Structure 1
Amino acid sequence: MSTFGSHFRVTTYGESHCLSVGCIVDGVPPGMRLTEADIQPQMTRRRPGQSAITTPRNEKDRVEIQSGTEFGITLGTPIGMRVMNENQRPKDYGNNTMDRFPRPSHADWTYLEKYGVKASSGGGRSSARETIGRVAAGAIAEKYLREAFGVEIVAFTASIGKEFLFTPTPEHPTASTNPEFLDLINKIDRKTVDSFVPVRCPSEEAGKRMEKLVEEYRDRQDSIGGTVTCVIRNVPSGLGEPCFDKLEALLGHAMLSIPATKGFEIGSGFGGCQVPGSIHNDPFIKASAQDGTPESVARPRLTTKTNNSGGIQGGISNGAHIYFNVGFKPPATIGQAQQTTGYDETDGVLEAKGRHDPCVVPRAVPIVESMAALVIMDAVLAQQSRQMARSLLPPLDRTIPLTGGGAQANGEGAKVEVDR
């Protein structure tokens, strides 16, 4: 359906060429300062027409808050947000061939099969215009996470076609063992990512290679795919709902719901399958005060020496950085003539019209960040509910003694309550 989340619920609406697109966000904590200025930066990073290698559709994507706030403060009631479609050109889709043929690898045919009717222009709900609501909602979630826990979410372009930021090697089949990659995700920020325009790959040399490749496909009226890497820092430990709503499962669900996605891998990913357990395992070490967690947030007593797990073990966050990759296919709509079969089952040639990205990866970066924020926000609210419910119960009698002073500043040891 069109709703995502359990405790922080987001419902998006709108099609590619309708009057407006937007969302309703339910579960926003009351008492948080929030205006359009908090949301617009991510909307602007996502919007079309940013460079010569994105769609020329000219939309400003100005967000308007319709409900749920008063005097710039959240009320705890549903927040409605709207973005007007200002540059619709549905006539681009009314040419003879696009009326007759479903676009190869697009959702034209499957939407028709599912509903018995489909939007006549653009991709309807399958269009990336739908992600505007996700990005607006994600900006709200991210502000709460940042103010409450110091959470930082940063995504960047990791590859386009066969051009990589970190090329897999026999020594490092997975980036999780590459010191350069680990150093990057420890310090990368959005300002740095956005300084590498238009590709958003945090390397001038790799970015130039990727930009040139996209230009080549654009000039051939073709398209190309790639991958986005995302890191989430300062995530509280204990998030995730085993067995079926493990945190990585929720992240995978969120990422694969984004249009044009084809793959998701977390931590060491598929490359980690090529190394032995003696290398892949993450030994535990005592957490230090310099682990990047804000002082206002309770730090875990332990952390891991390596992070091949990608910050999640047993479906639950362990306090380390969460990082993952999302694969995006080449955009389905291209300018080249394609031999295909029409709705009337006759063969023919489709020549698609309209304005489309030759590569969606650079514009997908804020969408990936936003969906990550929605997942973490939902998990935080679920865990806070559990912790509050437990805090109202009498203390348990049986405890396990701990040494090393992890929970006590005097170093004399501590006790953790357990339910046997």
Structure 2
Amino acid sequence: MASVFGHSLTLSVFGQSHSPAIGCTLDGLPAGIPLDVEELQRFLARRAPGRSATATTRKEADRPEILSGITDGHTNGAPFSAIIRNTNTRSQDYAELRRIPRPGHADYPARVKYANQHDVAGGGHFSGRLTAPVCIAGGLCLQALERAGVHVVAHIAQLGVDRIADEALDSLRYRPEQRAAIRANALPTISDTAAEQMTQVILAAKSELDSVGGIIECAAYGMPTGVGDPMFDGIENRIAQAAFGIPAVKGVEFGAGFGAAALTGSENNDPYRMEDGRIAPQTNNAGGILGGITTGAPIIWRMAVKPTPSIGRTQMSVDMDAGENSDLKVRGRHDPCIVPRAVPVAEAVCALALVDALLDDGFAHLFADAQASPSTDID
């Protein structure tokens, strides 16, 4: 189904951008995983709207209401479910979009598919607003992975038409200082200079009633070797499927990615050496995955995020009711650049895919607190 992801761990997302609430159900989590609600809130705040001049002015607290699945601060084996209430909507801004589709949005194909019965307000179920419940589920999975010694880190690797670049994440080892820098900067970059330059690019696009896109790099450090499957259930497949669930993502690559096409085999192959009694790749052009299976090297992947399609400039469109050409100026509150707020979403979908794969391969014991032996007494 379109709004469901996963195998052993199943995520279902529900709601629309302007519905009373949006939410998720996450089924298949083992009992005993501790949840730090304050840490989850800090994670959601990184995605939330209305926090800076580079984002939409729509303000939402994005405070999750956990409905089930948690007892005494731990998962209890029942499906985890949570909602976020929408409190700051302006649906009147979208009234004409049922007949005049926005270029770059799903308005036209959605009208055809759903016979004009779809929700157009705020983009309905196509909206990036639905990444908030994805981040609730992904935030829980990120905490579970940290317990297993797996660290997921993402940043803006490149932004804008001039391709302003950040320092790359280390492709061979986890560097806590890189994560700390990403969290400390005004935009999620390792380099503070890159953050400043990217901020100016976004503000310039905003002043010109336009938008810009970019590339997000994400790494998962500490994954066990041998997780995943060949063919259609490989680690790349799982991450890519989840990543393409993020609105505005138009491309995904792993390791050297498309750059591998310009390398020779001797350049692209990752040689092995023994280090401290274990096999260690010396480079990571494979992005930590071969044959769909983890190699023990960090999983490195990137996703391309298109410019925000809702811009303040007048654009050519059509009046679908009248069957004639029309011009459209999009109203409402929109990000001049989606990329900064999509960084935690990249971490969330990566975590969901990896926890699902680990559960498939029998690694549930990595996540939960050790439990005392159950009593055999019967009341």
Do these two structures clear the TM 0.5 threshold for a shared fold by scoring above it? yes
Q: What secondary structure does 2:78 align onto?
A: coil
The letter of the residue matching 2:359 is L
Distance in structure 1 (CA, Å) of the matches to 2:65 and 2:353: 23
Instruction: Say whether 1:274 aligns with 2:262.
Output: yes
Equivalent of residue 195 in structure 1, options 184, 194, 197: 184
Structure 2 equivalent of residue 74 of structure 1: 75
Q: Give the aligned length.
A: 361
Q: Does the aligned pair in 2 maintain the 1:340–1:350 contact within 8 Å?
A: yes
Quick one: structure 1 residues 270 and 187, their matched pair in 2 at CA, closer, same or farther if it must change by over 3 Å?
A: farther
Higher relative contact order (CA 8 A, sep 6+): 2
Conservation of the 8 A alpha-carbon contact between 1:4 and 1:11: yes
Q: Check whether the contact 2:47–2:341 (CA below 8 A) recurs between aligned residues.
A: yes
DSSP 3-state at the match of 2:144: helix
Aligned to 2:342: 364
In the TM superposition, residue 27 of structure 1 has moved relative to its aligned partner by 0.8
1:399: which partner in 2?
A: none
Q: Which digits, 9 at most, give the CA deviation of each residue in 1:22-48, with x for residues without a partner?
A: 101101110122253242121111100
Say if 1:182 and 1:7 are closer, same or farther in 2 by CA, change over 3 A: closer
- Secondary structure of 1:102 counterpart: coil
Corresponding residue number in structure 1 for 2:373: none
Give me the whole-angstrom Cα distance separating, in 1, the residues matched to 2:93 and 2:345. Answer: 26
- In 2, the alpha carbon distance for the partners of 1:386 and 1:313 equals 23
1:254-333 superposed matches below 5 A: 254-288=242-276, 301-333=278-310
Give how far 1:99 is off.
4.5
- The residue identity in structure 2 corresponding to 1:46 is R
Greater displacement, 181-190 / 36-45: 181-190
Shift in Å, 1:385: 7.0
Which runs of 5 or more residues in structure 1 are unaligned?
A: 168-174, 290-300, 388-420
Q: State the TM-score, normalized to the length of structure 2.
A: 0.91
Quote the offset at 1:181 in angstroms: 5.3
What is the aligned partner in structure 1 of residue 328 from structure 2?
A: 350
Contact 1:163 1:210 in 2 (8 A): no
Shift of 1:279: 1.6
Question: Counterparts of 1:145 and 1:182 in 2: how far apart (Å)?
Answer: 19
Distance (Å, rounded) in 2 between the aligned partners of 1:105 and 1:228: 20
| Unmatched tracts of structure 2, length 5 or more | 366-379
Question: Quick one: which amino acid aligns to residue 63 of structure 2?
Answer: R
Matched-pair contact (CA < 8 Å) for 2:172–2:283: no
Structure 1 residues 370-416: Cα deviation after superposition (integer angstroms, max 9, x where no partner): 000000000000111799xxxxxxxxxxxxxxxxxxxxxxxxxxxxx
Q: Counterpart in 1 of 2:355?
A: 377
Work out whether 1:131 is the aligned partner of 2:119. no
Q: Which amino acid aligns with 2:99?
A: R
Q: How does 1:148-297 map to 2 (within 5 A)?
A: 149-161=148-160, 162-165=162-165, 182=171, 186-197=175-186, 199-288=187-276
Deviation (angstroms), 1:184: 8.8
TM superposition score normalised by structure 1? 0.82
Summarize the Cα distance change of 1:62–1:37 in structure 2 as closer, same or farther, 3 Å threshold: same
C-alpha distance in 1, partners of 2:348/2:150? 13
Could you tell me which residue of structure 2 aligns to residue 98 of structure 1?
97
Q: CA deviation at 1:252?
A: 1.3
In 2, distance between residues paired with 1:189 and 1:24?
A: 32
Matched position secondary structure for 1:122: helix
Distance 2:308 2:177 in 1: 28
Task: Report the counterpart of residue 19 of structure 1 in structure 2.
Answer: 20
Q: Give the letter aligned to residue 317 of structure 2.
A: T
Query: Which letter does structure 2 place at the counterpart of 1:249?
Result: N
Q: Quick one: percent identity of the two aligned structures?
A: 37
C-alpha separation in 1, matches of 2:88 and 2:36 = 25
**Matched-pair contact (CA < 8 Å) for 2:181–2:189:** no
Deviations 1:240-275 (A, max 9, x none): 121211111111111122100011110011112212
* Partner AA of 1:384 in structure 2: G
CA contact (8 A) 1:246 1:315 kept: yes
- In 1, are the aligned partners of 2:273 and 2:279 still within 8 Å (CA)? yes
**In structure 2, what is the Cα distance between the partners aligned to 1:212 and 1:266?**
29
> Amino acid of the residue matched to residue 134 of structure 2?
R
